[in-house]
Protein backbone atom coordinates (compact mmCIF):
# COMPACT_ATOMS: atom_id res chain seq x y z
CA UNK A 1 0.00 0.00 0.00
CA UNK A 2 1.43 3.40 -0.94
CA UNK A 3 1.88 6.11 1.68
CA UNK A 4 -1.01 8.41 0.68
CA UNK A 5 -3.40 5.45 0.76
CA UNK A 6 -1.99 4.42 4.14
CA UNK A 7 -2.57 7.89 5.55
CA UNK A 8 -6.13 7.92 4.18
CA UNK A 9 -6.97 4.58 5.82
CA UNK A 10 -5.30 5.65 9.05
CA UNK A 11 -7.23 8.93 9.00
CA UNK A 12 -10.51 7.08 8.43
CA UNK A 13 -9.72 4.70 11.28
CA UNK A 14 -8.83 7.54 13.63
CA UNK A 15 -12.01 9.43 12.70
CA UNK A 16 -14.10 6.39 13.64
CA UNK A 17 -12.28 6.22 16.97
CA UNK A 18 -13.03 9.81 17.96
CA UNK A 19 -14.51 10.34 21.44
CA UNK A 20 -18.29 10.13 21.35
CA UNK A 21 -18.70 13.65 22.69
CA UNK A 22 -16.82 15.13 19.72
CA UNK A 23 -19.24 13.72 17.10
CA UNK A 24 -21.47 16.47 15.72
CA UNK A 25 -24.81 14.66 15.70
CA UNK A 26 -24.36 13.64 19.36
CA UNK A 27 -23.51 17.22 20.29
CA UNK A 28 -26.61 18.48 18.46
CA UNK A 29 -28.80 15.78 20.03
CA UNK A 30 -27.61 16.70 23.52
CA UNK A 31 -28.17 20.38 22.73
CA UNK A 32 -31.76 19.69 21.60
CA UNK A 33 -32.52 17.78 24.81
CA UNK A 34 -30.98 20.56 26.93
CA UNK A 35 -32.97 23.15 24.95
CA UNK A 36 -36.24 21.31 25.64
CA UNK A 37 -35.44 21.04 29.36
CA UNK A 38 -34.47 24.71 29.64
CA UNK A 39 -37.60 25.81 27.77
CA UNK A 40 -39.79 23.54 29.92
CA UNK A 41 -38.45 24.41 33.37
CA UNK A 42 -36.91 27.86 32.78
CA UNK A 43 -39.09 29.37 30.04
CA UNK A 44 -37.82 32.94 30.48
CA UNK A 45 -34.23 31.75 30.12
CA UNK A 46 -35.23 29.72 27.07
CA UNK A 47 -36.75 32.80 25.42
CA UNK A 48 -33.56 34.77 26.09
CA UNK A 49 -31.53 32.08 24.28
CA UNK A 50 -33.27 32.90 20.99
CA UNK A 51 -30.22 34.87 19.67
CA UNK A 52 -28.18 31.64 19.64
CA UNK A 53 -30.54 30.03 17.14
CA UNK A 54 -31.01 33.23 15.15
CA UNK A 55 -27.25 33.80 14.97
CA UNK A 56 -26.51 30.31 13.68
CA UNK A 57 -29.25 30.51 11.04
CA UNK A 58 -27.95 33.93 9.97
CA UNK A 59 -24.40 32.60 9.63
CA UNK A 60 -25.55 29.74 7.40
CA UNK A 61 -27.80 31.98 5.30
CA UNK A 62 -24.83 34.30 4.84
CA UNK A 63 -23.06 31.49 2.99
CA UNK A 64 -25.95 30.09 0.92
CA UNK A 65 -25.50 32.57 -1.93
CA UNK A 66 -21.75 31.97 -2.35
CA UNK A 67 -22.18 28.19 -2.08
CA UNK A 68 -24.93 27.98 -4.71
CA UNK A 69 -23.11 30.39 -7.02
CA UNK A 70 -19.75 28.61 -6.85
CA UNK A 71 -21.16 25.08 -7.17
CA UNK A 72 -23.59 25.87 -10.00
CA UNK A 73 -21.17 28.04 -12.00
CA UNK A 74 -18.35 25.52 -11.69
CA UNK A 75 -20.69 22.64 -12.55
CA UNK A 76 -22.15 24.24 -15.69
CA UNK A 77 -18.85 25.71 -16.89
CA UNK A 78 -17.06 22.38 -16.52
CA UNK A 79 -19.82 20.43 -18.31
CA UNK A 80 -19.53 22.50 -21.46
CA UNK A 81 -22.59 20.79 -22.99
CA UNK A 82 -25.42 23.27 -22.50
CA UNK A 83 -27.97 20.79 -23.89
CA UNK A 84 -27.06 18.46 -21.06
CA UNK A 85 -27.71 21.20 -18.50
CA UNK A 86 -31.15 21.77 -20.03
CA UNK A 87 -31.86 18.04 -20.00
CA UNK A 88 -30.93 17.78 -16.31
CA UNK A 89 -33.17 20.73 -15.48
CA UNK A 90 -36.11 19.25 -17.39
CA UNK A 91 -35.75 15.87 -15.67
CA UNK A 92 -35.55 17.54 -12.27
CA UNK A 93 -38.73 19.57 -12.88
CA UNK A 94 -40.63 16.47 -14.07
CA UNK A 95 -39.55 14.59 -10.95
CA UNK A 96 -40.44 17.53 -8.69
CA UNK A 97 -43.92 17.90 -10.15
CA UNK A 98 -44.76 14.19 -9.86
CA UNK A 99 -43.45 13.69 -6.31
CA UNK A 100 -44.74 16.99 -4.89
CA UNK A 101 -48.18 16.22 -6.30
CA UNK A 102 -48.04 12.81 -4.62
CA UNK A 103 -47.28 14.60 -1.34
CA UNK A 104 -50.37 16.81 -1.76
CA UNK A 105 -52.54 13.76 -2.50
CA UNK A 106 -51.15 11.86 0.51
CA UNK A 107 -52.10 14.80 2.76
CA UNK A 108 -55.68 14.76 1.43
CA UNK A 109 -56.08 10.98 1.71
CA UNK A 110 -54.81 10.82 5.31
CA UNK A 111 -57.08 13.71 6.34
CA UNK A 112 -60.09 11.93 4.81
CA UNK A 113 -59.21 8.65 6.50
CA UNK A 114 -58.22 9.86 10.00
CA UNK A 115 -60.36 13.03 10.30
CA UNK A 116 -57.97 14.94 12.64
CA UNK A 117 -60.34 17.94 12.95
CA UNK A 118 -63.54 16.02 13.61
CA UNK A 119 -65.31 16.86 16.87
CA UNK A 120 -63.61 20.20 17.55
CA UNK A 121 -66.74 22.14 16.45
CA UNK A 122 -64.87 25.46 16.24
CA UNK A 123 -66.89 28.60 15.53
CA UNK A 124 -64.73 30.51 13.05
CA UNK A 125 -66.66 33.73 13.69
CA UNK A 126 -65.51 33.70 17.31
CA UNK A 127 -61.81 33.53 16.41
CA UNK A 128 -59.54 36.58 16.46
CA UNK A 129 -59.00 37.47 12.81
CA UNK A 130 -56.28 39.99 13.72
CA UNK A 131 -53.93 37.10 14.46
CA UNK A 132 -53.89 36.02 10.83
CA UNK A 133 -54.29 39.41 9.16
CA UNK A 134 -50.56 39.69 8.46
CA UNK A 135 -50.47 36.24 6.87
CA UNK A 136 -53.58 36.95 4.83
CA UNK A 137 -52.07 40.19 3.54
CA UNK A 138 -48.92 38.40 2.40
CA UNK A 139 -51.01 35.60 0.89
CA UNK A 140 -52.84 38.07 -1.40
CA UNK A 141 -49.49 38.96 -2.92
CA UNK A 142 -48.91 35.32 -3.88
CA UNK A 143 -49.47 34.06 -7.40
CA UNK A 144 -47.64 32.21 -10.15
CA UNK A 145 -46.87 35.39 -12.15
CA UNK A 146 -45.61 37.24 -9.09
CA UNK A 147 -43.55 34.20 -8.16
CA UNK A 148 -41.89 33.99 -11.58
CA UNK A 149 -41.15 37.72 -11.69
CA UNK A 150 -39.67 37.56 -8.20
CA UNK A 151 -37.01 35.15 -9.49
CA UNK A 152 -35.43 38.07 -11.38
CA UNK A 153 -33.35 40.22 -8.99
CA UNK A 154 -33.24 44.01 -9.29
CA UNK A 155 -29.48 43.90 -9.79
CA UNK A 156 -26.80 41.22 -10.06
CA UNK A 157 -25.59 41.98 -6.52
CA UNK A 158 -29.11 42.21 -5.08
CA UNK A 159 -29.56 38.47 -5.65
CA UNK A 160 -26.85 37.83 -3.07
CA UNK A 161 -27.88 40.65 -0.73
CA UNK A 162 -31.47 39.39 -0.55
CA UNK A 163 -30.49 35.76 -0.05
CA UNK A 164 -33.21 34.41 -2.38
CA UNK A 165 -32.06 30.96 -3.53
CA UNK A 166 -33.87 31.07 -6.88
CA UNK A 167 -32.47 34.52 -7.70
CA UNK A 168 -28.95 33.33 -6.93
CA UNK A 169 -29.60 30.20 -9.00
CA UNK A 170 -30.70 32.30 -12.01
CA UNK A 171 -27.58 34.47 -11.80
CA UNK A 172 -25.41 31.36 -11.39
CA UNK A 173 -26.87 29.60 -14.43
CA UNK A 174 -26.39 32.67 -16.63
CA UNK A 175 -22.82 33.10 -15.38
CA UNK A 176 -22.03 29.42 -15.95
CA UNK A 177 -23.35 29.61 -19.52
CA UNK A 178 -21.30 32.75 -20.20
CA UNK A 179 -18.07 31.22 -18.83
CA UNK A 180 -18.57 28.01 -20.85
CA UNK A 181 -18.38 30.10 -24.03
CA UNK A 182 -15.05 31.77 -23.20
CA UNK A 183 -12.74 28.94 -24.28
CA UNK A 184 -9.32 29.03 -22.61
CA UNK A 185 -10.20 32.05 -20.50
CA UNK A 186 -13.31 30.22 -19.30
CA UNK A 187 -11.20 27.25 -18.18
CA UNK A 188 -8.98 29.55 -16.10
CA UNK A 189 -12.03 31.25 -14.58
CA UNK A 190 -13.52 27.84 -13.77
CA UNK A 191 -10.35 26.81 -11.93
CA UNK A 192 -10.45 30.06 -9.96
CA UNK A 193 -14.08 29.43 -8.99
CA UNK A 194 -13.08 25.88 -7.97
CA UNK A 195 -10.53 27.37 -5.58
CA UNK A 196 -13.16 29.79 -4.24
CA UNK A 197 -15.50 26.82 -3.69
CA UNK A 198 -12.93 25.19 -1.40
CA UNK A 199 -12.67 28.41 0.61
CA UNK A 200 -16.46 28.73 0.90
CA UNK A 201 -16.86 25.16 2.14
CA UNK A 202 -13.98 25.71 4.54
CA UNK A 203 -15.96 28.58 6.06
CA UNK A 204 -19.05 26.33 6.23
CA UNK A 205 -17.08 23.68 8.15
CA UNK A 206 -16.13 26.33 10.72
CA UNK A 207 -19.70 27.62 11.06
CA UNK A 208 -21.21 24.13 11.41
CA UNK A 209 -19.19 23.61 14.59
CA UNK A 210 -21.61 26.10 16.19
CA UNK A 211 -24.62 23.95 15.24
CA UNK A 212 -25.14 22.64 18.81
CA UNK A 213 -25.46 26.20 20.10
CA UNK A 214 -27.93 27.03 17.34
CA UNK A 215 -30.02 23.95 18.10
CA UNK A 216 -29.95 24.71 21.84
CA UNK A 217 -31.14 28.28 21.33
CA UNK A 218 -33.79 27.38 18.78
CA UNK A 219 -35.33 24.57 20.79
CA UNK A 220 -35.18 26.44 24.14
CA UNK A 221 -36.95 29.43 22.59
CA UNK A 222 -39.65 27.30 20.94
CA UNK A 223 -40.56 25.39 24.09
CA UNK A 224 -40.11 28.45 26.34
CA UNK A 225 -42.33 30.64 24.15
CA UNK A 226 -45.14 28.25 23.30
CA UNK A 227 -44.91 25.77 26.16
CA UNK A 228 -45.52 22.06 26.02
CA UNK A 229 -49.13 22.76 27.00
CA UNK A 230 -49.80 24.44 23.66
CA UNK A 231 -49.54 21.01 22.06
CA UNK A 232 -52.39 19.43 24.02
CA UNK A 233 -55.44 20.95 22.27
CA UNK A 234 -54.22 20.20 18.77
CA UNK A 235 -52.04 17.19 19.55
CA UNK A 236 -54.04 14.99 17.20
CA UNK A 237 -53.30 17.18 14.19
CA UNK A 238 -49.60 17.31 15.08
CA UNK A 239 -49.51 13.55 15.51
CA UNK A 240 -51.34 12.93 12.23
CA UNK A 241 -48.99 15.30 10.38
CA UNK A 242 -45.86 13.60 11.73
CA UNK A 243 -47.35 10.18 10.96
CA UNK A 244 -48.28 11.24 7.42
CA UNK A 245 -44.80 12.63 6.78
CA UNK A 246 -43.25 9.41 8.09
CA UNK A 247 -45.49 7.33 5.83
CA UNK A 248 -44.56 9.50 2.85
CA UNK A 249 -40.82 9.24 3.57
CA UNK A 250 -40.84 5.49 4.16
CA UNK A 251 -43.31 4.39 1.49
CA UNK A 252 -43.15 6.98 -1.30
CA UNK A 253 -39.55 8.19 -0.99
CA UNK A 254 -38.49 4.74 0.22
CA UNK A 255 -39.90 3.13 -2.94
CA UNK A 256 -38.22 5.74 -5.13
CA UNK A 257 -34.92 5.18 -3.31
CA UNK A 258 -35.25 1.40 -3.73
CA UNK A 259 -35.82 1.89 -7.46
CA UNK A 260 -32.72 4.10 -7.58
CA UNK A 261 -30.63 1.45 -5.84
CA UNK A 262 -30.27 2.59 -2.23
CA UNK A 263 -31.97 2.30 1.15
CA UNK A 264 -33.90 5.28 2.50
CA UNK A 265 -32.90 4.22 6.02
CA UNK A 266 -29.20 4.27 5.22
CA UNK A 267 -29.58 7.58 3.45
CA UNK A 268 -31.22 9.12 6.53
CA UNK A 269 -28.48 7.67 8.72
CA UNK A 270 -25.91 9.19 6.37
CA UNK A 271 -27.41 12.69 6.76
CA UNK A 272 -28.27 12.35 10.47
CA UNK A 273 -26.14 15.38 11.41
CA UNK A 274 -28.06 17.58 9.01
CA UNK A 275 -31.45 16.20 10.11
CA UNK A 276 -30.71 17.02 13.74
CA UNK A 277 -29.60 20.55 12.81
CA UNK A 278 -32.88 21.01 10.90
CA UNK A 279 -34.79 19.69 13.92
CA UNK A 280 -33.11 22.24 16.17
CA UNK A 281 -33.44 25.24 13.85
CA UNK A 282 -36.79 24.45 12.13
CA UNK A 283 -35.31 25.46 8.77
CA UNK A 284 -34.01 23.33 5.93
CA UNK A 285 -31.91 26.26 4.68
CA UNK A 286 -29.43 25.75 7.52
CA UNK A 287 -28.15 22.53 5.95
CA UNK A 288 -28.24 23.45 2.25
CA UNK A 289 -24.46 23.90 1.90
CA UNK A 290 -23.58 20.79 3.90
CA UNK A 291 -26.16 18.62 2.11
CA UNK A 292 -24.73 19.64 -1.27
CA UNK A 293 -21.27 18.64 -0.10
CA UNK A 294 -22.50 15.28 1.23
CA UNK A 295 -24.40 14.50 -1.96
CA UNK A 296 -21.25 15.13 -3.98
CA UNK A 297 -19.40 12.79 -1.66
CA UNK A 298 -21.94 10.08 -2.50
CA UNK A 299 -20.90 10.38 -6.13
CA UNK A 300 -23.53 12.77 -7.51
CA UNK A 301 -21.87 15.12 -10.05
CA UNK A 302 -21.41 18.73 -8.97
CA UNK A 303 -23.34 19.97 -12.01
CA UNK A 304 -26.41 17.94 -10.99
CA UNK A 305 -26.14 18.69 -7.27
CA UNK A 306 -25.84 22.40 -7.97
CA UNK A 307 -28.92 22.47 -10.19
CA UNK A 308 -31.25 19.97 -8.52
CA UNK A 309 -30.83 20.41 -4.78
CA UNK A 310 -31.23 24.23 -4.51
CA UNK A 311 -34.07 24.23 -7.06
CA UNK A 312 -35.87 21.65 -4.95
CA UNK A 313 -36.15 24.19 -2.14
CA UNK A 314 -38.84 25.94 -4.18
CA UNK A 315 -40.20 23.20 -6.46
CA UNK A 316 -40.02 20.04 -4.34
CA UNK A 317 -41.24 20.91 -0.84
CA UNK A 318 -42.76 17.54 0.03
CA UNK A 319 -43.20 18.21 3.75
CA UNK A 320 -44.81 21.58 3.10
CA UNK A 321 -47.16 20.05 0.54
CA UNK A 322 -48.37 17.41 2.99
CA UNK A 323 -48.89 20.15 5.58
CA UNK A 324 -50.90 22.31 3.17
CA UNK A 325 -53.57 19.82 2.12
CA UNK A 326 -53.75 18.13 5.53
CA UNK A 327 -54.22 21.51 7.27
CA UNK A 328 -56.84 22.74 4.78
CA UNK A 329 -58.97 19.65 5.35
CA UNK A 330 -58.34 19.90 9.10
CA UNK A 331 -59.73 23.46 9.09
CA UNK A 332 -62.77 22.26 7.12
CA UNK A 333 -63.40 19.40 9.56
CA UNK A 334 -62.77 21.55 12.66
CA UNK A 335 -65.25 24.21 11.49
CA UNK A 336 -67.76 21.62 10.19
CA UNK A 337 -67.39 22.95 6.62
CA UNK A 338 -68.41 20.38 4.01
CA UNK A 339 -66.17 20.24 0.94
CA UNK A 340 -67.38 18.69 -2.28
CA UNK A 341 -65.19 16.50 -4.47
CA UNK A 342 -64.90 19.37 -6.94
CA UNK A 343 -63.72 21.74 -4.21
CA UNK A 344 -61.09 19.24 -3.04
CA UNK A 345 -59.83 18.84 -6.60
CA UNK A 346 -59.70 22.63 -6.83
CA UNK A 347 -57.70 22.78 -3.59
CA UNK A 348 -55.28 20.20 -4.99
CA UNK A 349 -54.80 22.12 -8.25
CA UNK A 350 -54.37 25.47 -6.51
CA UNK A 351 -51.94 23.96 -3.99
CA UNK A 352 -49.85 22.56 -6.87
CA UNK A 353 -49.23 26.16 -7.95
CA UNK A 354 -49.18 27.89 -4.56
CA UNK A 355 -46.67 25.44 -3.09
CA UNK A 356 -44.03 26.48 -5.63
CA UNK A 357 -41.79 28.98 -3.93
CA UNK A 358 -42.56 27.72 -0.43
CA UNK A 359 -38.87 27.42 0.38
CA UNK A 360 -37.18 26.25 3.56
CA UNK A 361 -37.62 29.58 5.36
CA UNK A 362 -39.59 29.13 8.56
CA UNK A 363 -43.15 30.47 8.22
CA UNK A 364 -43.38 30.39 4.42
CA UNK A 365 -45.60 27.32 4.53
CA UNK A 366 -48.03 29.15 6.81
CA UNK A 367 -48.31 32.04 4.34
CA UNK A 368 -48.94 29.57 1.50
CA UNK A 369 -51.68 27.93 3.59
CA UNK A 370 -53.30 31.36 4.02
CA UNK A 371 -53.22 31.80 0.23
CA UNK A 372 -55.02 28.48 -0.31
CA UNK A 373 -57.70 29.29 2.27
CA UNK A 374 -58.19 32.69 0.63
CA UNK A 375 -58.88 30.95 -2.68
CA UNK A 376 -61.61 28.71 -1.22
CA UNK A 377 -64.62 30.89 -0.25
CA UNK A 378 -66.24 28.05 1.68
CA UNK A 379 -63.36 27.98 4.17
CA UNK A 380 -63.10 30.82 6.72
CA UNK A 381 -59.55 32.21 6.61
CA UNK A 382 -59.83 33.37 10.23
CA UNK A 383 -59.81 29.67 11.14
CA UNK A 384 -56.07 29.88 10.47
CA UNK A 385 -55.82 31.32 13.98
CA UNK A 386 -56.25 27.86 15.47
CA UNK A 387 -53.02 26.75 13.80
CA UNK A 388 -50.80 29.70 14.75
CA UNK A 389 -49.84 28.30 18.15
CA UNK A 390 -48.68 24.94 16.84
CA UNK A 391 -47.18 25.94 13.49
CA UNK A 392 -43.70 26.19 15.01
CA UNK A 393 -43.91 22.58 16.21
CA UNK A 394 -45.00 21.45 12.75
CA UNK A 395 -42.31 23.41 10.90
CA UNK A 396 -39.61 20.98 12.08
CA UNK A 397 -41.35 18.07 10.38
CA UNK A 398 -41.93 20.09 7.21
CA UNK A 399 -38.26 21.00 7.01
CA UNK A 400 -37.06 17.45 7.76
CA UNK A 401 -39.26 15.96 5.04
CA UNK A 402 -38.18 18.64 2.56
CA UNK A 403 -34.48 17.94 3.12
CA UNK A 404 -34.89 14.17 2.75
CA UNK A 405 -37.04 14.62 -0.37
CA UNK A 406 -34.57 16.93 -2.08
CA UNK A 407 -31.66 14.65 -1.23
CA UNK A 408 -33.45 11.68 -2.78
CA UNK A 409 -34.35 13.79 -5.83
CA UNK A 410 -30.71 14.71 -6.43
CA UNK A 411 -29.58 11.09 -6.28
CA UNK A 412 -32.44 9.95 -8.55
CA UNK A 413 -31.69 12.56 -11.22
CA UNK A 414 -27.98 11.63 -11.05
CA UNK A 415 -28.90 7.96 -11.53
CA UNK A 416 -31.34 8.94 -14.30
CA UNK A 417 -28.44 10.67 -16.08
CA UNK A 418 -26.29 7.53 -15.60
CA UNK A 419 -23.69 9.61 -13.77
CA UNK A 420 -23.87 7.96 -10.36
CA UNK A 421 -21.67 5.12 -9.18
CA UNK A 422 -24.29 3.07 -7.32
CA UNK A 423 -21.74 0.74 -5.71
CA UNK A 424 -19.72 3.65 -4.34
CA UNK A 425 -22.90 5.30 -3.08
CA UNK A 426 -24.05 2.19 -1.22
CA UNK A 427 -20.56 1.65 0.23
CA UNK A 428 -20.37 5.19 1.59
CA UNK A 429 -23.89 4.95 3.05
CA UNK A 430 -23.09 1.63 4.68
CA UNK A 431 -19.74 2.76 6.10
CA UNK A 432 -19.79 6.53 6.50
CA UNK A 433 -16.66 8.13 7.94
CA UNK A 434 -17.84 10.30 10.79
CA UNK A 435 -15.42 13.10 10.01
CA UNK A 436 -14.79 11.96 6.46
CA UNK A 437 -15.49 15.50 5.36
CA UNK A 438 -12.18 16.36 6.99
CA UNK A 439 -10.49 14.78 4.01
CA UNK A 440 -11.28 17.91 2.05
CA UNK A 441 -14.74 17.05 0.80
pLDDT, position 143: 54
The Cα 397–Cα 170 span in angstroms is 29
pLDDT, position 69: 83
What is the separation, in whole angstroms, between the first and last Cα of the chain?
23
CB neighbour list of residue 328: distance below 8 Å, 6 or more residues apart: 347, 351, 369, 372, 373, 376, 379
Is there a contact between 72 and 172 (Cβ–Cβ < 8 Å)?
yes
pLDDT, position 18: 64
Q: What is the pLDDT along the chain (441 residues), one digit of tens a residue?
A: 444 444 444 444 444 556 766 677 678 778 888 888 888 888 888 888 888 888 877 887 787 778 778 877 877 777 666 677 778 888 888 998 899 899 999 999 998 898 887 776 766 565 555 545 544 555 455 555 666 677 788 888 888 887 676 788 788 888 888 887 787 888 888 888 888 888 887 887 788 788 788 878 877 887 787 666 555 556 778 888 999 999 999 999 999 999 988 899 999 999 988 888 888 777 777 788 888 889 988 888 888 888 888 888 777 888 888 988 888 888 888 888 888 888 888 888 777 766 665 544 445 566 677 767 766 767 776 667 667 666 767 878 888 999 999 999 999 999 988 888 888 888 888 876 543 444 444
pLDDT, position 257: 92
Query: By residue range, what is the domain housing residue 148?
Result: 3-439
Helices (H) and strands (E) in the chain, counts: 22, 0
The Cα 173–Cα 380 span in angstroms is 42
Q: Is the pTM of this model over 0.85?
A: no
pLDDT, position 251: 94
CATH code of the domain covering residue 222? 1.10.3860.10
Q: How many domains does the chain have?
A: 1
pLDDT, position 92: 87
Q: What is the DSSP letter of 155?
A: S
Q: Look at residues 257, 392, 254, 378 and name the one whose alpha carbon lies nearest to residue 323.
A: 392
pLDDT, position 435: 39
Is there a contact between 131 and 386 (Cβ–Cβ < 8 Å)?
no
Amino acid sequence: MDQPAERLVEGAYMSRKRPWYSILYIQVLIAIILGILIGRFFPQTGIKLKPLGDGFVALIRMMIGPVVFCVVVQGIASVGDLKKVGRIGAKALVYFEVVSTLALIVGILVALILHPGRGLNIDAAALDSKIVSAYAGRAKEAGIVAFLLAIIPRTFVDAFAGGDVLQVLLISILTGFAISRLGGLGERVTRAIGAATKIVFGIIRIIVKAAPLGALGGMAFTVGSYGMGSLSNLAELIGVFYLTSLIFVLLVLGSIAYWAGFSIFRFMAYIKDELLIVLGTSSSETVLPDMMRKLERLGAPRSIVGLVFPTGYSFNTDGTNIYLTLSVLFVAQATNTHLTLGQMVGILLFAMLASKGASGVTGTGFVTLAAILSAVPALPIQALAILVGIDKFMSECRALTNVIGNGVATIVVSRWEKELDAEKMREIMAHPIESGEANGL
